[in-house]
Structure 1
Amino acid sequence: DPLTFNYSLPSEAKLDSLFIFPQLDPITLEIGLFLDSKLFEHFQREYIRDAEQHLLDFSLALINNVHVLYQQSSMSPNLDIVIVRYELWKTQPIGLDTLTHRNGQAQTLLNGFCRHQAAINPGTDLTDPGHWDHGILLTGYDIYHTTTSVAGVAPVARMCDEIFACSLVEGLHLGRSFVLAHEMGHNMGMVHDGIQNQCSRSCCLMSAVNGAGKTTWSPCSVREFNAFLLQLDESGRGNCLRDAAESISTHDHLKDGRLPGQRFTADQQCSYFWGKDYQVEIPNGRKMDDICRILWCGNSGSTISTAHPALEGSWCGGDKFCVEGQCREWRYGPKPSPIHGGWSEWSGGDRRCPVSQCQISGSIQLKSQMRTCTSPAPNNGGKPCAGSSFRGLVCGSVQSSCEGVSRLEYGTRLCTSIKNDPIKPDPQLSGATFLHGTQPCKVWCHLIDSELIRNKGQYPDGSPCGVSQYCIGGSCLTLSCNNEAVVNDPNDCPQSAITPVEVSQMSEWNEWSPCSASCGANGIQKRQRSCSSPADVGIQNSGIRQLIAAEKPVSPTITRPSYSIKRLSNISGSN
């Protein structure tokens, strides 16, 4: 819910008002974008080496989606968004620490941020190009009011205010772009659809609850926006949206040139929302084009969950893309081409082998490595990466001495503990497990009085899952690579486990033979060198030697000898 400042909706903003608003030119919102230390810590955990760059790319795509929402045909006038300040906090500023705002209490954190950004905002809108109209804090805190969790909050109708032109939004996934557009709408005079106006509460971006299909602006929101702009013009405090500054070149959300759904694929949007192993999974009875209304995400388990509407420009099947919340023909210039996926480098190579944890009999010790299909990510109907995103490097011996419980016992214990969890029990579970034949590294639990099963976890890395097969990252992979790794494909073997290929070697040339003819007649001189190839498995002799011969014609009429090379094939001998 928004923080209100006793704002009364102007009568002309109401849907049944006969007032006709003048046609306004597009306006510009200059923003200061701030990312707090809690959000940075989250990205550091997820993207260890390039957290700052990843967070920058993420936040620019998020702002770009907000910009696109305010460029829709349903919105008038259109609003351009320009970033004039970008600031990443690795430690919280004074007054915004966890204790002060009680670990994310929304009103306290918003009030503190609004005052902080106002204090550091340079000059005025007319005197300093670095001055921003609206401060935005993307936070990693799970913000809340009293006991209710919220995704964002902003003061109502305070745009261009010296202090309270500001928004606070959770920033952990790209779906928060819809929340930020909503909160900025509050700050520009918009109220909740269906509660404080005459529009449907289930249709649009200013619904009290964001979610499926809420991707456009209602006629009520547009009227409220225009009424607020007229009030700004008449208020005497000035309409800060009438001028435009240059965006910081390094933080220009338009510089990439691609729509947000082309920068981050629908699969990547799922992974931001639910976790790295999630991607788009369309449930039975649904179609790919439904993702423009709401993303469906899964991790090859039994549960498919919703996330948020796919971002503008996301590929939604065939030759179509998400445009203003619907799966349509591309309308933004040249249509994007299919992009085939490519693997990233393997991560985790610098990690030590884990401490031995013998849980399931026959387990071996493995160090997991992961790669992602992001170099590039497949998009627009391109082919996905072939193979597994996981492999396991063998630590020590493959001769297991582990005597733990059986896979059946391990699964039963896990299903029972989840069923009877003291904090969040799952009464739908029977407590019994099911040993899945095609997904043996995932723990499946039976539902009560049903044949249905549900994925509730995975077996520990190194657990046996077949003959010379072991679990890693929830996948059952084969022991290979000279027993140095478990992989999906021999091409995934680490370089240290690949048998080096010896290259054939040429010997030096020997001396020229005596001339075959006496002086005064044409003759030939010869010399040789040998080509030795390494012995292969199955070849009985120690090597193969081929003789290469060179001939030099000798003639009394030729002062500069010419050379020709003759290959003598099938000549073999011992070393």
Structure 2
Amino acid sequence: MWDRAPTGHAAGPPPELPPAGPAAGPPAPARAGPASCIARAAAAAPMPRAAPRWPPLLLLLPLLPLLPPPPPPLARGAPARPAGGGPASALVVPTRLPGGAGELALHLSAFGRDFELRLAPDASFLAPEFKIERLGGSGGAAGREQQLRGCFFSGTVNGEPESLAAVSLCRGLSGSFLLDGEEFTIQPQGAGGSLHRPHRLQRWGPGRAAAAEAQPLPGAPEGEAEKGEGQRQEEAEEEEEEEEEEEEEDEQGKEEETEGASEPPPTLGATSRTKRFVSEARFVETLLVADASMAAFYGADLQNHVLTLMSVAAHIYKHPSIRNSINLMVVKVLIVEDERWGPEVSDNGGLTLRNFCSWQRRFNQPSDRHPEHFDTAILLTRQNFCGKEGLCDTLGVADIGTICDPSKSCSVIEDEGLQAAYTLAHELGHVLSMPHDDSKPCARLFGPLGKHHMMAPLFVHLNKTLPWSPCSAMYLTELLDGGHGDCLLDAPTSALPLPTGLPGRRALYELDQQCKQIFGLGFRHCPNTSAQDICAQLWCHMDGAEPLCHTKNGSLPWADGTPCGPGSLCLDGSCLPQEEVEKPKAVVDGGWSPWGPWGECSRTCGGGVQFSHRECEDPEPRNGGRYCLGRRAKYQSCHTEECPPDGKSFREQQCEKYNAYNYTDVEGNLLQWVPKYAGVSPRDRCKLFCRARGRSEFKVFEAKVIDGTPCGPETLAICVRGQCVKAGCDHVVDSPRKLDKCGVCGGKGNSCRKVSGSLNPSSYGYSDIVTIPAGATNIDVKQRSHPGVQNDGNYLALKTADGQYLLNGNLAISAVEQDILVKGTILKYSGSITSLERLQSFWPLPEPLTVQLLTVPGEVFPPKVKYTFFVPNDVNFSIQSSKERATTNVIQPLLNAQWVLGDWSECSSSCGAGWQRRAVECRDPRGQASTTCDEALKPEDGKPCGSQPCAL
């Protein structure tokens, strides 16, 4: 949000006043929501993780009959995946369910799941004067428009509040819905219009654009990444056995074919290739919405006014101090003449933002190539916004860092004439991830930045020679380099032309009109008797009232181009000769400076990174000239020699630094921090996730790990400026060198031998499977559950040579995936609730470990355990038979049910007050659901989180 500075007033002619500054007082912590800067409390919300970019849900349902005819019929409920990564589809027959008053409920079943649509009539996207125009016909029956209004419904799916559904029930069921990040479309199969006829349901995945590039899951044959429910149990069991045999044959065949020069797992060293540290032209396609209060105030001048605001803001974004090529483009203007058809607007800025964000989605197009698709939506209103303390000094509201999220990329602006252009530019800066200039991160990196840049928390006076602070430019650059602004790369096919020339030269912005736009009807310009800096401050008074002059926002200047004397015009707050103001200025495109020297290496060993930069200042762009395009930074590897072995990974060292901060649990015990990999999204691998040792609690201590940190335990890729980049096993960026199966960098795979085995019979308790020696690589232990049995009573366990359990010891079973840290090496465990329980490690094992099988009493299901790993040729190792290694640590049968705990979810809020949840289930000794656990001993399933204050 942006606030206005305190309003000033004076009796008679205005005195000489210094520019007003922010009121004293400490910054208030921000909400994890709209960026806020209420008077005396300038704050902005932290940048949220970028959510998946879902295609906005459209209500253009009358267009569905124009779609291409559907493909040939399928068997009901059988999903199909066309070649080329198209959508999965199934034939369904909608079933109507009982619903509440004014509610319609429909049930669909496909893709192995059920969908329950709860719908209510919704024709809000149709304008009040909506008409249908027909060409070449008789004109149609009267009243058709009103009939169509009863066709449209919207609602939710499966009761999920984040889901969306929009359908038409005329001539069958047509429309689309979003659930769990996937988009589904439905339409009648063939001709006809009955709800009870077959319909085609298509699943498009988490974004149609991405669906075209979808790949089968690892290990799945092409075209068989998904299975239907219709498979027979016998076929599933046969395929499972055949798959296991084929796995062994494939492994042996590969070993013979390559003579030991096998490749590491596909994920090792692999990473996506995207442009990094490259200045590219960005186009912010914008929807401008003016509400009914704007239409009533400006009348026929409204469209000209809103485009003028955008023209001023676009000029500010062309300034080279932003250090990027940003082009604001208006693709559509919506004027709401009847407030009933617009978003709900109130004096609560945050609530108005939420209402508008929800409302604007219906007007967007899913394809970025559509001429009316927009990247952000802006609402302009004359409504005054007030804060909690009753101070109505808020000028705008926006969320931070949401530019490519169709559901959150929006802002609301209070219109006060031309000054709203600066509010618009400020709030759009928040959407582009810029915090306030007085925020703690900006102050820590750049020191005091003053109060005259665009992202100052209070509007005082903009320094037009340097409108953007270095902190704003840095945050924008990081957003774009991180791939979070890729929706801005496409240039619009059509855009509304913005007004040119100085606004003060138009009658809409003569001095009296400027006063009316800021203060309201009845206000006129208050003449300034001082000729000095006459354009620097606009003073106004109520017509016919006592001569009390008012000003707003400290020192709001006259509009550029306003006449300020004979032959003189205002420009940037100064009164200058008209010839000087209107003299054409040469447009100068920017040019790159020479590359700077290489910076300091990020690591002292193990493969660091150093940077060299160049700036767009030879020459610097001027007068709207183009900003430089191309690479702005380059990097290279440094200090690639191996680090001395100390049993700790580089990421582990970064987590250990926070042990000194004395974090404690609820009982006052000090927490020790270790790296967390399990459950971390691939796009977040370069954030510093740390988990409390032996516990599920975790924190994100840093938004970016130190450059050169490996992205994960299963890859050679390293983090550079928060992004994963390809690297070789020699710690050199873009190196092709890989680890062979023996763990040797660039080796031929002939320095080790493969060890494999299996275990079938077992007894209750812990049974040894195999002791893996130190130095073993590419460890893979699998325990496959029996078909149709989720918990067959068999679980993998792991212990050290001294008998200390690292996994599933003392009858405590880990249901979810976790990381097992062994002297800097990570073993990844899949969790026991998966049908294929798995323990994997790719790097050399630092010490011997014994893999065991835990079998609990209950219905007997023989275990199906297989393992493989590679040991160096110089290691004396042989596999003893299972019978010779009969366990001596048989346990007594477990007779009682116990509480089984899942991992804590991520905090619902990145800072401030949030909540975490976890699964707490009662399980009997066979792993089945039970009701005999002691409720008094049930662990908590929720807890507050986000105790860290929000970044400003």
Please, what TM-score do these two structures have when normalized by structure 1? Answer: 0.47
- Which structure would you say has the larger RCO, counting Cα contacts within 8 Å and 6 or more residues apart? 2
Please, what TM-score do these two structures have when normalized by structure 2? Answer: 0.29
